[in-house]
Every structure is written in structure tokens, then in C-alpha cells.
Amino acid sequence: MTTETRLVEVRRNVLKQNDILARDLRRRFEETGIFVASLVSSPGTGKTEFLEKTLSGLRRDYRVAALVGDLATANDAERLKRSGAPVRQITTGTICHLEAQMVENALEGWDLNDLDCLFIENVGNLVCPSSYDLGERLRVVLMSVTEGEDKPLKYPTIFNTADVAVITKMDLAEAVEFDLEKARASIQAVRPGMRVIEVSAKTGAGMDDWMEYLEPRIDLGFGIADFGLEEKRRTTPSAEAAATPPFPRRGA
């Protein structure tokens, strides 16, 4: 007995739910004039230390807040609270990345009109977060000098979806014989034209460069000209694959 089968053409983005939510979030952020940046890196790059210093620095002039993703603990959120900024923990359980829905849930009860700037620290992971748009305006990818200059070549997808790269723990560069030019070249290879900023959150070196990069973006918010590119880079496309037929040739 043979079963009759039929082929139907559909066009459905697998991450449709996430992309729709992310788009709604981005619109909400735009309407309330809040600048949202997400941070991605490997575990141990120093995202939390970097974010703590960033929040402390910005708090003089801006109303800032942060959401922190972590698999199990609330340690990062506790650390960040030392900056004095409102911080909320997103505990993801077994999930290795943040999704737009988690961001939306975590924002509940916060009046976005009371904020100028929100940071979202993703779970330490350079693979999975690359697939999920969180509605952010700026995606910051961090790597530390102890991770090796070729990190971007090992994780090209996440570096390619980022808008700016930060190299952390520069105070250790000499001790680990870190080759800055080589690291810069690796970043440029996978994401040509991306701005690279070197910092040491511990000594404060380079944090001024980071603030100088960040502050005009917070001030301009969504008025900045290249807005739209970010969304295009992160959401999965729905129409562009239309050029090729939906099914491979049968019997191939």
C-alpha cells in the first residue's frame, strides 16, 4: 500500500515568534526613547565587571538600568546593583541564551519612560545568542585578551551580527603576550568596518573611549541614521530566500 502524499509550499520563519516580539520591543523602545544595548561574550570575559563600570559611569548623566541573563545564579545582578542602577536578573534555567519573550517578561512593571538607557547582559555563550533578536539597538560583542586573538574566527556568526567589539582585560595584555593587531585583524575579517574598543574595566583604561562611543548614541537614540541595518542583520529573513525554489528537485 502506498500513501498518497502532496507537497505544499509554505514560507515560515522558524524564529517568527521571537522576531515578532523583538520587533514589538524595538518599537516600544523607540516610542519611549530608550536606548537599548545587549552584551554578548564567552563566560568569563568580564561582561559583568565591564557593565558595572559602564552603569556607574553613565549614572551621573543618564537614567540607566540593566537586565542580566544567567543560567542559575543571581550573583551577577547582585554585583551590578552595587552601581546603584535598577537591575533585574533573568534566570534562564537550562536555556543557553536570552529570547525576546524573556526580555519582555523581565521588563514588566518598569516604566520605560523613566529610563534613558537599558543594558541586556546575555548568558555567557558565543553561539546561541546570535540567532535571537532581543529588540536591542546595539549589540556589543566582548572578548578578553586571555581568550586568544583568533576568537572572532572561531565564532564568526556572533561577531558578524554585532555592532561594536570591546576587547576586555587589557591590563593583562602584556602578561599573556596578547597581539592587539592580530585580534583587530580577526575582527575585521569577520565583520569589516566594525569599531573595536580596548578597555580594562579594572584600571579604567579605555573606558573613556567606550563612553565617548556610547553617549552620542544614547543622546540620539533611534534618530541615528544607520538604524534598520541592525534589525536586518539580526532577524531571519522571510523574503530573500524566495529567489530559489522551495523544494530541491525530486529524485535527486
Phi–psi pair at 19, nearest 5 degrees:
-65, -35
How far apart, in whole angstroms, are the C-alpha atoms of residue 147 and residue 195? 19
User: Judged by CB under 8 A, which stretch of 15-23, 34-42, 81-89, 113-121 contacts other proteins?
Assistant: 15-23
Q: Hey, what's the torsion of the CAs at 160, 118, 131, 168, to 10 degrees?
A: 40
Of 1, 6, 249, 251, the residue at the interface with other proteins (CB under 8 A) is 6
Among 71, 95, 106, 112, binds other proteins (CB under 8 A): 95
Instruction: Please give the residues from 111 up to 130 whose contact with other proteins meets the rule CB under 8 A.
Output: 127-128, 130
Q: State the minimum distance, in angstroms, from the CB of residue 36 to other proteins.
A: 21
Q: Provide the CB-side half-sphere exposure for 88 (13 A, CA).
A: 16
Residues 205 and 208: their CA atoms lie apart, in Å, by: 7
Distance CA 120, CA 206 (A): 21
Taking contact as CB under 8 A, which single stretch among the options 42-50, 102-110, 173-181, 236-244 is the one that binds other proteins?
Answer: 236-244
For residues 135 and 181, what is the distance between their CA atoms, to the nearest angstrom? Answer: 32
Contacts with other proteins in 29-88 (CB under 8 A)?
A: none
Q: How is residue 210 written as a grid cell?
A: 567606550
> C-beta of 74: minimal distance to other proteins in Å?
23
Interface with other proteins (CB under 8 A), residue total: 43
| Contact residues for other proteins, defined by CB under 8 A | 3-17, 95-97, 127-128, 130-131, 153, 156-158, 160, 188-193, 233, 236-238, 240-241, 244, 246-248
